[in-house]
Structure 1
Amino acid sequence: MSTHSGPHRIVFANEKGGTGKSTTAVHVAVALAYQGARVAAIDLDPRQRTLHRYFENRTETERRRAVKLPSARFAVFEGDTIEALDSQIAEMSRDADFVIFDTPGRDDPFARHVATEADTLVTPLNDSFVDFDLIGQVDAETFKVRKLSFYAELIWEARKKRAMATIAHKRREMDWVVVRNRTQHTEARNMKRLDQALTELSKRVGFRIAGGLSERVIYRELFPSGLTLLDKGHLGELGTSHLVARQELRALVASLALPMPGGREPELSLGRIG
């Protein structure tokens, strides 16, 4: 980790909806809060407001049950200039160890701005070539990568600029992590082709690949309460699939390799979470 003094920026972004961005962002935010980190969260989609609504629901559950849950400061960006966004980020960054951004599932100038400024950029993808097309195009016969997408080119250029800034201004390098969500619905032959295409593209543009969250009803059921899989003791009886989902989440957070305050190691493996 560099000597850059600002909070670590984690941006959840791609240009397609339905990939689990908001669910993953909330769970990562709460996981960090459980480890004692001070977390701020900014929702860049003022129409959907999924991240913001999730934390609103969490606050209401705290009030209704008279409990205190690890959480994040949260806000929605509703401005119309990059300067207004930077101003809100600066305000939300005060006393924060991490600032988490949830972006809309479409091309958006504010999402692009925070993505290129990310310390950790997380791009959730469902395991299909429909989603893969967001970062690269493959040959219809061989499934070899033919070209990068516009989005991958954008991040590639941003990472090159950041590499130079890292040397000149001691900024953090950008860590780009492609997270594979909902893998159990992928047919074996298709999964192998995706594996090969993702591996090939990762070598070209330098992202890491991490396992994500499976498609489980529990995530949709938790939204109204704002609870997460980490809120052990508040969820009632959990089935086997829920316990497996919690393990998936632990593995995902560990794979992000986020810098903990004071240089502490993440404590996921020590049972502090859930």
Structure 2
Amino acid sequence: MSQPKVIVVGNEKGGAGKSTIAIHVAASLLHAGARVGVLDLDLRQQSVGHFFANRQAWLAANKAEAPMPVLHPLSADLAAAPDAEALARFEAAFEDVSAQADFVLIDTPGGDTAVSRAAHGLADLIVTPMNDSFVDFDMLGVVDPVTLDLKRPSLYSETVWNSRKARAAASGRSIDWVVLRNRLAPTEARNRKRLDQRVQALSRRVGFRVGPGLRDRVIYRELFPFGLTIADLSPTIRPVAMGLQHVAARQELRALMTSLGLETVPRGALMAAE
């Protein structure tokens, strides 16, 4: 059997929208007919795990159907476990979902851990959402405080760089890295042009692609308690009133999946038996 494609959603800064991106990518892949395994390594918040638990409960209560991923929940005590034990438990969970999935999606915590670094090393695609501010950019690159010129890559960029080098040395395979401009404000911010220039300069230096994320829309938040996304809405699944914002949100999600190279999932690439 072919190996699943591993997608890691990562950024060592919290609040960048990692879990929102993770659940929307997972739901989109599921609706494209792929089998998706999900591992939530953000053991303190467990937003992705809670989302899919909500999904299962809502679907059962409303006698509705929507695709579910392969889940292997990791208990919160993993965060306090010694590195060797934590890595062994993560590897076992990864092997479990990999055997059942076409894609394995891993949501990582907002911090540097041995398990998070191991997950990055397994990735075929790393997705890094960042908010539209120099506060978020600081985790990727360091700028001069006087001129705002890019000085050097920062902590998280170095983590990804090391993962890419190790992956290339071990298997000869490369890791695709996409930075998403997430939660953009509806109107142009005064510092957007300056930030754009630094992001593009850093992308050339460390080798990531820049893609569109998801705007800060109410619809993304109000569907979370039901375990649903904009990709799930249909004539039979409609827990909130529909409006024009839903059309715009669907277009955003399609643009996001296209930027990640996941807009279509060829049936011949799936391992599921027909």
- TM-score, normalised relative to structure 2: 0.88
Aligned partner letter, 1:67 = A
Query: What amino acid is the match of 1:52?
Result: G
Tell whether 2:180 aligns with 1:179: yes
Q: In the alignment, residue 121 of structure 1 is paired with which amino acid?
A: I
Read off the aligned partner of 1:26 and give its amino acid letter.
Answer: I
Match of 2:135 among 130, 136, 141: 130
Q: Which moved more, 1:89-98 or 1:234-243?
A: 234-243
Instruction: Please give the alpha-carbon distance, in whole angstroms, between the structure 1 residues aligned to 2:199 and 2:121.
Output: 21
Task: Determine the structure 2 residue equivalent to 1:27.
Answer: 24
Q: Deviations over 1:132-168 (max 9, x none)?
A: 001111112322211111221121122123233343x
After superposition, the C-alpha distances for 1:111-152 in whole angstroms (9 at most, x for unaligned) are 121012211101110010000001111112322211111221
What is the aligned partner in structure 2 of residue 9 from structure 1? 6
Partner amino acid, structure 2, of 1:109: A
Q: Which residue of 1 aligns with 2:246?
A: 242
Structure 2 residue runs of 5 or longer lacking an equivalent are none
Question: What secondary structure is seen at the aligned counterpart in 2 of 1:59?
Answer: helix
* Higher mean displacement: 80-89 or 32-41: 80-89
Q: Which residue of 2 aligns with 1:270?
A: none
The answer for unaligned runs of 5 or more in structure 1 is 266-274
Corresponding residue number in structure 2 for 1:208 = 209
- Is the Cα contact below 8 Å between 1:181 and 1:211 reproduced in 2? yes
Q: Secondary structure at the match of 1:45?
A: coil
Query: Quick check: 2:72–2:96 contact (8 Å CA) kept in 1?
Result: no
Q: Partner amino acid for 2:246? A: H
Q: CA-atom RMSD, angstroms?
A: 1.9
User: Given that residues 125 and 181 in structure 1 are in contact (C-alpha distance below 8 angstroms), is that contact kept between their aligned partners in structure 2?
Assistant: yes
Q: How does 1:121-200 map to 2 (within 5 A)?
A: 121-167=126-172, 172-184=173-185, 187-200=188-201
Provide the C-alpha distance between the structure 1 equivalents of 2:187 and 2:131, rounded to a whole number of angstroms: 9
Q: Which amino acid aligns with 1:108?
A: T
Structure 1 stretch 149-158 or stretch 53-62: which is displaced more?
149-158
| In structure 2, distance between residues paired with 1:21 and 1:263 | 30
Cα distance in 1, alignment partners of residues 199 and 269 from structure 2: 32
- Secondary structure of the corresponding residue to residue 191 of structure 2: helix
Distance 1:190 1:205, change over 3 A: same
Distance in 1 between the 2:110 and 2:268 partners? 34
Distance in 2 (alpha carbons) for counterparts of 1:264 and 1:190: 43
Moved more, 195-204 or 86-95: 86-95
Amino acid at match of 2:28: A
Paired with 2:250 and 2:198, the residues of 1 have a C-alpha distance of 28
Amino acid of the structure 2 residue aligned with 1:36 = G
Give per-residue Cα distances to partners, 1:8-28, cap 9 Å, x unaligned: 111111112211111110111
Compared CA separation, residues 82 and 186, structure 1 to 2 (3 A) = farther
Q: Give the whole-Å Cα distance in 2 for the aligned partners of 1:98 and 1:129.
A: 32
2:121, 2:166 within 8 Å by CA — same for their partners in 1? no
8 Å CA contact 1:128–1:186 kept in 2: the answer is no
State the shift of 1:92 in Å.
Answer: 1.2
Q: Does the 8 Å CA contact 1:49/1:76 hold for their aligned counterparts?
A: no
Listed one character per residue, the Cα deviations across residues 146-205 of structure 1 (whole Å, up to 9, x for unaligned) are 1111221121122123233343xxxx4201110111112674431101110010000011
Normalising by the residue count of structure 1, what TM-score does the alignment of the two structures yield?
0.88
Instruction: Kindly report structure 1 stretches of 4+ aligned residues shifted beyond 4 Å.
Output: 261-265
Asked whether the equivalents of residues 22 and 51 of structure 1 are also in contact (C-alpha less than 8 Å), the reply is: yes
8 Å Cα contact 2:4-2:98 kept in structure 1: yes
Could you report, residue by residue, the CA deviation over 1:65-93 in whole angstroms, capped at 9, with x for unpaired residues? 11110221223323332122111100111
Post-superposition offset of 1:36: 0.5
Q: Percent identity?
A: 48
Task: Please identify, of 153-162 and 97-106, the stretch whose mean Cα deviation from structure 2 is larger.
Answer: 153-162
Residue 52 (1) aligns with residue 49 (2): yes
**Could you tell me which residue of structure 1 aligns to residue 258 of structure 2?**
254
* CA distance in 2 between partners of 1:146 and 1:243 (Å): 41
Q: Which amino acid aligns with 1:6?
A: Q
Contact 2:120 2:126 in 1 (8 A): yes
Aligned pairs, how many? Answer: 258
